Amino acid sequence: MIFDAEVFQITLLSLQISALATGLSLFIGLPFGTLLALGKFYGRSFLLSMVNTGMGLPPVVVGLFVAMMLWRSGPLGDLRLIYTPTAIIVAQVIISFPVVTGLTAAALQALDPRLRFQLYGLGASRTQMIWMLWREARLPLLAALMAGFGSVISEVGASMMVGGNIRYQTRVLTTAIVLETGKGHFDIAIALGILLLTITFLVNWALTWIQQRGARR
């Protein structure tokens, strides 16, 4: 199995699912984290507490919740998403979203509050002000992106529960490692583990290079 077409398919599916989940988490979490950081409304502290709690949410609990929602007898069972890559993406977004949101809020709250008033004083609109704050906090925001990706690429519990680890359909690197370990094929499991670590390192290396390049500007 090592380095054959099946491993390539598993690796490609893992990257596709994790990239989509991370992208969706960033798409939702960046504006929501900005709202929590800059907004002043009733219940803001409660939402921040919920997000911070979600950053430590056990993936297996997420998998259980999503499986109950998508199961044939569940409220969303008619969508027939259980044991599909889409179900894994949904679970991974729920796992990654609080991480991206929480770190985004923390990054923006760490900025000098006077910066907003300076931008408004220069005639910036609210949209322009937010964009400039994102640019100012781009280094910790990239760290949020890396943390979000790391939380999903290495996740196994939820993927196993909602994806079913089906060969050529929902089997990803983490679930394949669990499967091969259960079979006693430790050499294959170790090889897949090294492959997973290598991919994670390369992605984070690229993002770190972008981050540090931005720090020198």
Q: What is the pLDDT of residue 137?
A: 87
Q: What is the pLDDT of residue 101?
A: 95
d(CA 43, CA 116): 23
Tokens of 206: 């690229």
pTM exceeds 0.85 for this model:
yes
Tokens of 204: 């984070």
pLDDT at 167 over 90: no
Q: Compute the average pLDDT of residues 195-209.
A: 88
Can you give the C-alpha Rg of the chain in angstroms? 20
Q: Compute the average pLDDT of residues 92-100.
A: 95
- Taking only the tens place, the pLDDT of each residue in 38-49 is 888 898 899 999
Q: Where are the domains of the chain?
A: 5-215
d(CA 18, CA 12): 10
149 three-state secondary structure? helix
Task: Find all residues with CB under 8 Å of 189, minimum gap 6, and list them.
Answer: 177, 180, 181
d(CA 98, CA 114): 27
Q: What is the pLDDT of residue 24?
A: 96
**Do 91 and 69 contact (CB within 8 A), yes or no?**
no
d(CA 69, CA 65): 6
The CATH number of domain 5-215, selected from 3.40.50.300, 3.40.309.10, 1.10.3720.10, 3.40.50.10490: 1.10.3720.10
Tokens of 66: 């999503």
d(CA 96, CA 25): 6
Share of the chain above pLDDT 90, in %: 50
Phi-psi region of 123 (alpha: psi -120 to 50; beta: other; left: phi over 0): left
Instruction: Characterize 171-188 residue by residue with b for buried, 16 or more Cβ atoms within 10 angstroms of its Cβ, and e for exposed.
Output: bbbbbbbbbbeeeeeeeb
| pLDDT grade for 56, boundaries at 50, 70 and 90 | confident
* Cα angle, residue 65 at apex, residues 36 and 42 outer, rounded to 5°: 25
Q: How many residues does the chain have?
A: 217
pLDDT at 135 over 80: yes
Q: What is the pLDDT of residue 94?
A: 95
